[in-house]
């Protein structure tokens, strides 16, 4: 199993490194350049025109690697987790296409995105319960306690799924930030899926749990390879195509490993970023004052005076700690 995990990461990494130099010039020729928000940090205006929609680069690497290395690529586990990634990636691609190609600054309207995202969330949770026996319970992190929610499970977990996918999208605001944080989150799921296979899982039906570890390793390899082109100063941005797809990959892994609540720990950086936006909006609308100089949180530290690369490195380290804590939370529940 360990050999397939390393191989999946390596194949995704190599494919991404090969595709990058081939696709980035094409994106530039097609003038798929990033539009920079004027209300953002002024120094970001220099990034205008940098090719975007680069998430396609690592998505190809992840899919090819995962489906090639998986023990049974046609298993429902693999079909669901890959579909979750590509489904959310498709929503991001449509949004990017409207903004970049059709030159409509707003892209998809918020309600259109949410309809698509919640539809995918309900389909994922329903299929995982109906055909894989994942159940409608939640496992409390660091414990063996199962909290049965019944039908409430579907809307509750759908909120987590949509929240995390959009939070990953919010995190994609600095060069290499989303790719690096997702690299560590994916490595955390490699550990969780490996523990589920070797130490016993949380639910009775886990036929191809090892393939979920392979998929998570492919995600990590794809993100690592993408950093070659996306780290500061970025040569390409992943766009919503990439960030929503990465969110879809993580929530798919969470549902299929019964770690929906642990994802909130393992993906702590995403949660913090989303909370910073919520706090900022509520504070400004109720008091007219801002808690942060700018949200999401990474922009606050930029405006405080931190170099962009310093912000990214610190957030990476926090993501690493969150990933370790998430694996510990899972392991504590199967002792």
- The answer to whether the beta carbons of residues 230 and 241 sit under 8 Å apart is no
SS in 3 state form for the chain?
CHHHHHHHHHHHHHHHHHHHHHHHHHHHHCCCECCCCCCCCHHHHHHCCCECCCHHHHHHHHHHHHHHHCCCCCCHHHHHHHHHHHHHHHHHHHHHHHHHHCCCCCCCCHHHHHHHHHHHHHHHHHHHHHHHCCCCEEECCCCCCEEECHHHHHHHHHHHHHHHHHHHHHHCCCCCHHHHHHHHHHHHHHHHHHHHHHHCCCCCCCCCHHHHHHHHHHHHHHHHHHHHHHCCCCCCCCHHHHHHHHHHHHHHHHHHCCCCCHHHHHCHHHHHHHHHHHHHHHHHHHHCCCCCCCCCHHHHHHHHCCCHHHHHHHHHHHHHHHHHHHHHHHHHHHC
Q: Report d(CA 237, CA 230) in Å as an integer.
A: 6
Could you list the residues known to form a binding site, using ranges: 169, 240
Cβ-contact 242, 55 below 8 angstroms: yes
Contact 92, 108 (CB under 8 A): no
- CB atoms under 10 Å from CB of 123, counted, come to 15
Nearest to 143 by CA among 197, 204, 202, 212: 202
Q: Annotated binding site for Mg(2+), which residues? A: 169, 240
Position of tokens 């060069």? 175
| CB neighbourhood size of 183 (10 A) | 25
């Amino acid at each position: 199993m360990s050999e397939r995990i390393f191989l999946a990461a390596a194949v995704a990494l190599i494919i991404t490194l090969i595709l990058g130099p081939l696709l980035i010039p094409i994106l530039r020729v097609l003038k798929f350049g990033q539009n920079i928000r004027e209300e953002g940090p002024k120094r970001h205006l220099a990034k205008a025109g940098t090719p975007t929609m680069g998430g396609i680069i690592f998505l190809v690497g992840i899919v090819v690697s995962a489906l090639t290395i998986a023990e049974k690529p046609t298993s429902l586990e693999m079909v669901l987790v890959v579909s979750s990634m590509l489904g959310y990636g498709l929503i991001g691609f449509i949004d990017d296409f409207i903004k970049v190609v059709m030159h409509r600054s707003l892209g998809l309207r918020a309600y259109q995105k949410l309809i698509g995202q919640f539809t995918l969330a309900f389909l994922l949770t329903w299929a995982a319960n109906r055909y894989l026996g994942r159940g409608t319970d939640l496992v409390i992190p660091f414990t063996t306690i199962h909290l049965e929610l019944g039908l409430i499970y579907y809307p509750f977990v759908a909120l987590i799924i949509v929240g995390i996918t959009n939070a990953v999208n919010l995190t994609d605001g600095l060069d290499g930030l989303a790719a690096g944080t997702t690299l560590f989150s994916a490595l955390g799921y490699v550990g969780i899926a490996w523990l589920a296979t070797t130490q016993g899982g949380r639910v009775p039906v886990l036929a191809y749990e090892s393939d979920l570890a392979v998929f998570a390793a492919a995600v990590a390899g794809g993100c690592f390879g993408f950093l070659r082109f996306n780290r500061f100063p970025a040569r390409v941005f992943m766009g919503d195509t990439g960030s929503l797809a990465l969110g879809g990959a993580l929530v798919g892994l969470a549902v299929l490993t019964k770690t929906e609540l642990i994802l909130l720990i393992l993906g702590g950086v995403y949660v913090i970023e989303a909370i910073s936006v919520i706090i900022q909006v509520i504070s400004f609308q109720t008091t007219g004052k801002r808690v942060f100089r700018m949200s999401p949180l990474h922009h606050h530290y930029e405006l405080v005076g931190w170099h962009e690369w310093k912000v990214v490195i610190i957030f990476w380290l926090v993501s690493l700690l969150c990933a370790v804590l998430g694996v510990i939370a899972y392991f504590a529940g199967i002792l």
